[in-house]
Amino acid sequence: MLRKDEAKSVDPATLSMLEKATREGISTAFERAEQMSPCPIGADGTCCAFCAMGPCRVPLPRGREETAKENKRRRGVCGATVETIAARNFVRKIAAGTASHGDHGRVMAKLFLDIAKGKAPAYKIKDEQKLLQLALDLGVTIGDRSNEEIAVDLGELLCKEFGKQEGELLLLKRAPLKRQELWRKWGIAPRGIDIEVVESMHRTNMGTDQDYKDLLNFGAKVALADGWGGSMIGTEIQDIIFGTPAPILNQINLGVLKEDEVNIILHGHEPQLAETMAVVCQDPKMIDYAKTKGANGINLAGMCCTANEMLMRHGVPNAGNFLQQELAIVTGALEAMVVDVQCIMQGLADTASCYHTKLITTDARGKIQDATHMQFDEHNAYESAKAIIRVAIDNYVNRGEKVRIPTQKADMIAGFSHETINYLLGGMFRASYRPLNDNIINGRIRGVAGVVGCNNPRTTHDAGNLAMVRELIKNDVLVLQTGCLAMASGKAGLMVPEAAEFAGDGLRSVCEAVGIPPVLHVGACIDNSRLLIAATAMVKDGGLGDDLSDLPVVGAAPEWMSEKALAIGQYFVASGVFTVFGTTWPTTGSKEVSEFLFKEMEQMYGGMWAFEPNPVKAAHLMIERIDQNRKALGIDTARERVLYDMEMRRELEAV
Ligand code: NFS
């Protein structure tokens, strides 16, 4: 039976556009998901399509436990066991996620080098302090050299990380020492970024690694090449060249589109085009040009991770998250949807063909049939951006009658980078995580949760995120968010200081004293590496153990859909963090593989996976883990004693 619209999303702007789409006969991901149920064999990881003797299907018997005999018979033509098949599928997905973040990081590293050499004049080094810090961390000589000289050395060093063949990734040494030793013990300290992706493809190819535990351990290695490699390099460089984010107030949801202006949405991941578009849209000449076409101005908005980048660095409004991309076109008010790479639905081309919207691809790696391709050239960035914006402006006169922009938009504060959290909680003059650690030790903050990831039309859009986040903050867990779920909380009003009223007494008192929301926007998905850095800083500040797995810190992706989310989850786990996913789980067809991920990984890495589709139950699994870690640290009793009298509140305010 088809779901009613109300079961598809909890976001009123989305529901309003879904109703418009249905009335106008437009196909959306929501509708397509209704029409086609997921392939049960692929969904549980038991289809092996890696050679032409198959695809081999080795599903579980439906509705009952399998017998040992049946398990033995579940083999591919080559004899591969169901465990090998499920593990291969899992590792390939992680490798794809790592490759995506890695390729993004590589583009940033090359751009950084070009900037340092003066070959990309539209950009410059914005955060000198971060440049010097990274140079210091990686042993690049500073002396009295210019920023550009330092940046050339640093850029070359970072570019080499991708193709490095031996040794260890340089940024691994940022992790607590105990963690580094553990990675070496299990042989999962990555050598380079590309090599681990290539070896994943090799190991999972027909007839290579056929020991599921070994495969899964390698999956942890390739994931670490994402978190402590490609993603971390991407984030660090983006901060250096585009600026380290600091809290900034803006608005989110489809209501940010404007009836009387040229609306342009930038959708995708890599921020170099967005950076120049944000500048060019404010150029008086471009605005005048828009006026000649009858518009009152140019309204630039972001979508998906690009939106996070633009929101936190430029205060450019955010039109919405992953499942809203087609619906932005359904408003009838969008002159151009400009895309680069990752998470861009091909369905956009069909939707755009039903309205006047121009779908413009800008990256040679991400072309779409029937879209207009306008290659972005970062060496000539302003001209590229201007050409794209002109196409959008020229398209304004083609706007049809079918315009309806939802009214919903919410205030949100974005941009709580690791550095900002450090300053805000530590005070301007003594930036440190000490007060955060103290508030965790005294129990006002029970723990910290990273709730990240995508939307998925197989569940109710935004609902899992909101239920989980609300439950966590109610129980005094400070929530840090990235990606599309940061947007879900932003739309629901959880990313403003006033949302502290939904938090438990302890968390509320801290939020009120510092003036922060209980749910912090930390950035795009690539910025999950910020969470690793923040957690490491907590360990280094003392009092909460000597490894990441000791911290009362947990992770979750209740509405995930992308392979990138699995890579992130796996590097959280391999970094020692308990991580729970919702919606669906890709190894349910093999009990052994799931048990390894859900139990044995814990003994190896101190962190493990869990799967729980009910977001409130999942929140309680996270809280349980937080409490377990608090107990092991001997700080569980502190929480019970917390009574918030006036003196304690005054003490907090003095922080
Ligand atoms: Ni992350 Fe960004 Fe969103 Fe999921 Fe896609 S936009 S990198 S993968 S869908 S959170």
Question: Residue 556 in 3-state DSSP?
Answer: strand
The answer on pLDDT for 342 being more than 70 is yes
Report the C-alpha gap between 45 and 57 in whole angstroms.
10
Closest residue CA from atom 6 of ligand 1: 304
User: What spacing in Å lies between the alpha carbon of 370 and ligand 1's midpoint?
Assistant: 24
- CATH number 3.40.50.2030 is the correct assignment for the domain at 248-398: yes
pLDDT digits (tens, 9 = 90+) for 158-167: 999 999 999 9
User: What spacing in Å lies between the alpha carbon of 592 and ligand 1's midpoint?
Assistant: 29
Q: Are strands 248-252 and 410-414 parallel, antiparallel or unpaired?
A: antiparallel
The 3 state secondary structure assigned to 82-101 is HHHHHHHHHHHHHHHHHHHH
Cβ–ligand 1 contact at 358 (below 6 Å): no
The rounded Cα 394 to chain-centroid distance in angstroms is 34
Maximum CA pair distance of the chain?
76
Q: Where in the chain is the domain with CATH 3.40.50.2030?
A: 248-398, 415-633
Report the C-alpha gap between 192 and 228 in whole angstroms.
10
Angle at 348 between CA 462 and CA 388, to 5 degrees: 110
State the Rg of the chain over Cα. 24
State the residue for tokens 């103290």: 438
What is the pLDDT confidence band of residue 434, given thresholds at 50, 70 and 90?
Answer: confident
Cβ–ligand 1 contact at 483 (below 6 Å): yes
User: What spacing in Å lies between the alpha carbon of 632 and ligand 1's midpoint?
Assistant: 34
The answer to whether 388 and 362 have CB atoms below 8 angstroms apart is yes
Cβ–ligand 1 contact at 535 (below 6 Å): no
Section 327-345 average pLDDT: 98
Q: What is the pLDDT of residue 51?
A: 97
- Domain covering 415-633: architecture: 3-Layer(aba) Sandwich (3.40)
Section 516-536 average pLDDT: 95
Query: What is the number of helices (H) and of strands (E) in the chain?
Result: 29, 16
Report the C-alpha gap between 567 and 261 in whole angstroms.
39
pLDDT digits (tens, 9 = 90+) for 216-252: 999 999 999 999 999 999 999 999 999 999 999 999 9
The answer on pLDDT for 428 being more than 60 is no
User: What spacing in Å lies between the alpha carbon of 231 and ligand 1's midpoint?
Assistant: 13
Cβ–ligand 1 contact at 322 (below 6 Å): yes
Could you count the other beta carbons within 10 Å of the beta carbon of residue 624? Answer: 12
Cβ–ligand 1 contact at 454 (below 6 Å): yes
What is the pLDDT confidence band of residue 75, given thresholds at 50, 70 and 90?
Answer: very high
Q: What is the pLDDT of residue 15?
A: 97
What is the pLDDT confidence band of residue 254, given thresholds at 50, 70 and 90?
Answer: very high
Query: DSSP assignment, residue 270?
Result: -
In the structure encoding, which two tokens stand for residue 634, read together?
Answer: 């001997």
The answer on pLDDT for 427 being more than 80 is no
Q: What percent of the chain has pLDDT over 70?
A: 96
pLDDT digits (tens, 9 = 90+) for 79-127: 999 999 999 999 999 999 999 999 999 999 999 999 999 999 999 999 9
Question: Residue 264 in 3-state DSSP?
Answer: strand
User: What spacing in Å lies between the alpha carbon of 101 and ligand 1's midpoint?
Assistant: 11
Report the C-alpha gap between 511 and 518 in whole angstroms.
6
Report the C-alpha gap between 519 and 494 in whole angstroms.
6
Q: What is the pLDDT of residue 637?
A: 83
- For residue 568, the ligand 1 atom closest to its alpha carbon is 1
User: What spacing in Å lies between the alpha carbon of 279 and ligand 1's midpoint?
Assistant: 25
The answer on pLDDT for 431 being more than 70 is no
Report the C-alpha gap between 632 and 626 in whole angstroms.
10
Using alpha carbons, select from 577, 572, 563, 557 the residue that is nearest to residue 483: 557
Q: What is the pLDDT of residue 645?
A: 59
Question: Residue 390 in 3-state DSSP?
Answer: helix
What is the pLDDT confidence band of residue 6, given thresholds at 50, 70 and 90?
Answer: confident
Q: What percent of the chain has pLDDT over 90?
A: 89
The answer on pLDDT for 649 being more than 80 is no
- For residue 101, the ligand 1 atom closest to its alpha carbon is 7
User: What spacing in Å lies between the alpha carbon of 568 and ligand 1's midpoint?
Assistant: 11
Integer angstrom CA distances of residue 220 from 81, 224, 454, 628: 21, 6, 21, 24
The answer to whether 637 and 609 have CB atoms below 8 angstroms apart is no
The answer to whether 195 and 166 have CB atoms below 8 angstroms apart is no
Mean model confidence pLDDT for the chain: 94
Using alpha carbons, select from 472, 534, 474 the residue that is nearest to residue 508: 474
Cβ–ligand 1 contact at 573 (below 6 Å): no
User: What spacing in Å lies between the alpha carbon of 628 and ligand 1's midpoint?
Assistant: 31
In the structure encoding, which two tokens stand for residue 302, read together?
Answer: 């972001």
Closest residue CA from atom 5 of ligand 1: 343
The answer on pLDDT for 195 being more than 80 is yes
Section 551-580 average pLDDT: 98
Section 320-346 average pLDDT: 98
Q: What is the pLDDT of residue 302?
A: 96
What is the pLDDT confidence band of residue 430, given thresholds at 50, 70 and 90?
Answer: low
The answer on pLDDT for 640 being more than 70 is no
Higher pLDDT, 650 or 617: 617
User: What spacing in Å lies between the alpha carbon of 564 and ligand 1's midpoint?
Assistant: 8
The answer to whether 338 and 273 have CB atoms below 8 angstroms apart is yes
Q: Where in the chain is the domain with CATH 1.20.1270.30?
A: 82-242
pTM above 0.75, yes or no: yes
Section 262-287 average pLDDT: 95
Using alpha carbons, select from 270, 493, 295, 523 the residue that is nearest to residue 403: 295
User: What spacing in Å lies between the alpha carbon of 268 and ligand 1's midpoint?
Assistant: 9
- For residue 485, the ligand 1 atom closest to its alpha carbon is 10
The answer to whether 497 and 411 have CB atoms below 8 angstroms apart is no
Q: What is the pLDDT of residue 2?
A: 65
The dihedrals phi and psi of 83, each to the nearest 5 degrees, come to: -65, -45
Name the least confident of 170-184, 296-310, 599-613, 635-649.
635-649
pLDDT digits (tens, 9 = 90+) for 537-551: 999 999 999 999 999
Section 148-155 average pLDDT: 97
Section 388-415 average pLDDT: 96
What is the pLDDT confidence band of residue 655, given thresholds at 50, 70 and 90?
Answer: very low
C-alpha distance across the termini of the chain, in Å: 55
The rounded Cα 136 to chain-centroid distance in angstroms is 27
pLDDT digits (tens, 9 = 90+) for 457-507: 999 999 999 999 999 999 999 999 999 999 999 999 999 999 999 999 999
Q: How many residues does the chain have?
A: 655
The answer on pLDDT for 423 being more than 90 is no
Could you count the other beta carbons within 10 Å of the beta carbon of residue 78? Answer: 15
Ligand 1 mutation target, pool 562, 563, 571, most atoms within 8 A of CB:
562
Closest residue CA from atom 2 of ligand 1: 305
Strand-pair partners of 267: 303, 339
Task: Please list, in sequence order, all residues whose beta carbon lies within 8 angstroms of the beta carbon of residue 500, skipping any fewer than 6 positions away.
Answer: 507, 508, 511, 512, 517, 518
- For residue 482, the ligand 1 atom closest to its alpha carbon is 10
- Domain covering 82-242: architecture: Up-down Bundle (1.20)
The answer to whether 221 and 94 have CB atoms below 8 angstroms apart is no
